[in-house]
Amino acid sequence: MDFFNPVPAIGVNKLREVMKGPKRDDIIVLDVRQPEENQHSRIPGSILIPLGEIPSRMEELDKKKAIYVYCRSGNRSAAAGGMLLGSGFKEVYNVEGGMFAWDGLLATGGLGAGMVFLGPGAPFEEVVAAAWAMEEGSAAFYRYVLEDLDFGKGSAKSAFEELVGAEQGHMDSIREIYNNISGHDIAGATSKYRGEGCCLEGGVKLSDAKQWAKDASLDDILEFSMGVEANSYDLYTKLARESKNEKTAEFFKALAAEEWRHLLKMSKLLDMDL
């Protein structure tokens, strides 16, 4: 099984060509932003399903059609595209630059998906080890936002504090699961994902994320964080499905539910800041 789904990207000019072409009725342009964002501007003919509602509303989408997913700058849509591919949709594209690019604007520096993709033959243990390492990277990023940037106040502060604590708790739990499955400690298995190459959930390098965040707005960071949490949800849902042990499956289901709760909290914060 492919636990990490790289989503093909398409530029807005190519999307415009497709929308004007003979196959217009064979595509779906999907907006995964928040309703308030959609009210301000949207790609003509697109349908709105916010990222936080994708799992419960996938049945509204026709799997026979090509789906072009967009958001504000590309982070949320990449995460949504990965979930759709992992759920059996065959032709899914992430619209690069999102509404920023569609409106002819330059995004403030979107962060593309990383390349920590494990192929269909990746052993279950290796995927669990990668998940642990990415939890570590995500915790480090949230801690950086909280302590080093000027966003550690009010509702944002409490949200990022919760995320830091949650990711650390996930690491402890995943370590225990890995030890039980493999019979040895997780440290050796995670070494290739750590250090300078340390990644967040979703595969973005921690060093790249920190550099990008220095010039990013709170909206940008919230949107990026939503993508991180959505990628985590997607991965843990797949791990739950592939678990041979019922207790392990329930553990990953619980992790997925918590990641989704975090995503919804980020959504509410983004709504407040719009």
The residue among 223 and 119 whose pLDDT is bigger is: 223
DSSP H or E stretch at residue 9 = strand 9-10
Q: Is residue 116 part of a domain?
A: no
Residue 227: its H or E element: helix 218-242
Instruction: Indicate if 92 and 138 belong to the same structural domain.
Output: no
Residues 185 and 52 in one domain: no
23 DSSP 8-state letter: T
- Note whether 95 and 134 are same-domain residues: no
146 and 251, same domain (yes or no):
yes
**66 or 180, higher pLDDT:** 66
**Domain ranges, residue 248:** 124-273
Residues 235 and 137 in one domain: yes
The residue ranking higher by pLDDT, 272 or 183, is: 183
Residue 141: phi, psi to the nearest 5? -65, -45
Closest alpha carbon to 32 in 69, 84, 85 = 69
112 falls within a domain: no
Residues 159 and 246 in one domain: yes
Q: Measuring CA to CA, which residue among 226, 202, 227 is closest to residue 135?
A: 202
> CB of 82 within 8 A of CB of 232?
no
Q: Which two tokens stand for residue 188?
A: 């050796």
Q: Indicate whether 94 and 189 sit together in one domain.
A: no
Q: Per-residue pLDDT averaged across 10-34, rounded?
A: 93
- What are 72-112's pLDDT values in tens digits? 988 899 999 999 998 999 999 999 999 989 977 543 345 55
- Is residue 107, in this structure, part of any structural domain at all? no
Residues 132 and 267 in one domain: yes
* 152, 230 Cβ separation under 8 angstroms: no
Please return the burial class of 164, using the count of CB atoms within 10 Å of its CB with bins 0-12, 13-18 and 19+.
Answer: buried
Is 1 domain-assigned? Answer: no
The region of weakest confidence among 142-156, 167-181, 205-219, 233-247 is: 142-156
Structure tokens at 233: 């949800």
Q: Which two tokens stand for residue 260?
A: 């989704």
Query: How many residues belong to the chain?
Result: 274
Pair 19, 69: CB distance under 8 Å: no
DSSP 84-132: HHHTT-S-EEEETTHHHHHTTPPPS-----------TT--HHHHHHHHH
Domains: count for the chain: 2
Contact 160, 152 (CB under 8 A): yes
**118 has pLDDT over 90:** no
- My answer on whether 166 and 264 are in the same domain is yes
- Check pLDDT > 50 for residue 51: yes
Q: What are phi and psi of 208, to 5 degrees?
A: -65, -40
- Say how far apart CA 189 and CA 133 lie, in whole Å: 9
The verdict on 130 and 76 lying in the same domain is: no
In a domain, 129, yes or no: yes
**pLDDT (0 to 100) of residue 28:** 97
pLDDT at 274 over 60: no
Domain with 93 in it: what CATH number? 3.40.250.10
Q: Is the pLDDT of residue 199 over 90?
A: no
Amino acid sitting at position 233: Y
Predicted confidence (pLDDT) per residue in 157-198, tens digit: 888 888 899 888 888 888 988 888 888 888 888 877 666 557
Instruction: Yes or no: say if 79 and 227 are a contact pair by the CB < 8 Å rule.
Output: yes
Q: Average pLDDT of 50-69?
A: 95
In a domain, 108, yes or no: no
Residue 268, domain member (yes or no): yes
- pLDDT of res. 151: 64
- What pLDDT, on a 0 to 100 scale, did the predictor assign at position 63? 96
One domain for residues 75 and 137? no
Which range is least confidently modeled, 4-8, 182-186, 214-218?
Answer: 4-8
Domain of 266, CATH number, reads 1.20.1260.10
Per-residue pLDDT at 120 exceeds 60: no
| Site of tokens 């520096």 | 109
* Same domain assignment for residues 67 and 143: no
For the beta carbon of residue 124, count every other beta carbon within 10 angstroms: 17
Judging by beta carbons within 10 Å of its beta carbon (0-12, 13-18, 19+), is residue 65 exposed, middle or buried? middle
Q: In the structure encoding, which two tokens stand for residue 51, read together?
A: 């990222």
In this model, does residue 42 exceed pLDDT 50? yes
Residue 111 lies in a domain: no
Nearest Cα to Cα of residue 16 among 35, 39, 44, 37: 44
